[in-house]
Structure 1
Amino acid sequence: MSGFKTVDMNSMMSEIQAADEQLARQVRVEDGHIIVNVEYDYEIPIADCDTEPKLLGWILQLLEKTWMTKEVLERFIHVAARQSNLKIQH
């Protein structure tokens, strides 16, 4: 026995796709707003994220939420930056 776990690539890809689909449901764009939904719809106007300082303000506010996760916050940042044509380096 080698001690290595066998990886089923199809299973792993399915899990990644399911996680991506869940994030797409949790952070989406509707009617000029970014909707963050982990426990409930939290609407953020795209116009309130159109500069780096405004986006940072929303990031800081979202970090205070007990329901916020790293993955949801990362998706919010990418969606907000894309919608506002901001370049975010990571």
Structure 2
Amino acid sequence: MSEVKGLDFEEYVQWRKDLEDAVKIENDLIILGPQGFYDIEISSCNTYEKILGWAFHLSEKTWMTTDVLRYFIRVACQASDIKVPSV
């Protein structure tokens, strides 16, 4: 479940900034973590299948949160010009 529910506006702005700090694009890489401790080539996220593979891999990391994983999927889709899936 997302951590955004129940936040006031200022808390939401900080939550969003934290996500943007946790998942960034630099050159041809998606950088994860505020200190940039994990990087993924955008070219390895250019299909739904590859993004799903990365999401599965990243979900096993103890430092990964649901919100950051969801934001990673959105960033990876946008960086590869892929429509973000919805149900």
Please state which band the TM-score falls in when normalised by the shorter chain.
Answer: 0.7 to 0.9
C-alpha displacement at 1:31, in angstroms? 1.6
Is the Cα–Cα contact under 8 Å of residues 59 and 77 in structure 1 kept in the other structure? Answer: yes
1:22 paired residue number: 18
Matched, 1:48 2:44: yes
Structure 1, unmatched stretches of 5+, are: 1-10
Whole-angstrom CA distance in 2 between matches of 1:78 and 1:87 = 9
1:1-80 alignment runs, 5 A limit: 12-37=8-33, 41-80=37-76
**Which 4+ residue blocks in structure 1 deviate beyond 4 angstroms?**
none
Is the Cα–Cα contact under 8 Å of residues 38 and 67 in structure 1 kept in the other structure? Answer: no
Structure 2, unmatched stretches of 5+, are: 1-6
TM-score (norm 1): 0.82
TM-score (norm 2): 0.85
Q: Spell out, residue by residue over 1:42-78, the C-alpha distance to the aligned partner (whole angstroms, 9 max, x if none).
A: 0000000001111111011101101110000010000
Q: Which has the higher Rg, Structure 1 or Structure 2?
A: 1
Letter in 2 for 1:74: R
